[in-house]
Amino acid sequence: MLLGIAQQFYELVWYFDLGNWAGLAILGVVSIVIFSMMESQGGNIKLRFIAWKDKLAQWEK
């Protein structure tokens, strides 16, 4: 499943065209949504990364 998602993402990026206004508008909207989610959920995201880092550190023991 992960390979299929990666393939779809690759195709999306490969065929994305910044040459027209629709492509730039889509890129702008996506970036606004992503960064607003990061800003509103910043504390939760930071805690998840810390927990992930701790789990990875346990593997090294």
Q: What is the pLDDT of residue 19?
A: 72
When divided into structural domains, the chain yields a total of 1
How far is the C-alpha of 54 from the C-alpha of 50, rounded, in Å?
6
Residue 61, CA distances (Å) to 48, 56, 58 in order = 21, 9, 5
How confident is the prediction for the chain on average, in pLDDT?
83
Range of the structural domain that residue 31 is part of: 2-59
Q: Which amino acid is residue 50, in one-letter code?
A: I
The pLDDT tens digits for 15-33 are 777 677 877 888 889 899 9
- pTM (predicted TM-score): 0.48
Whether 61 has a pLDDT exceeding 90, the answer reads no
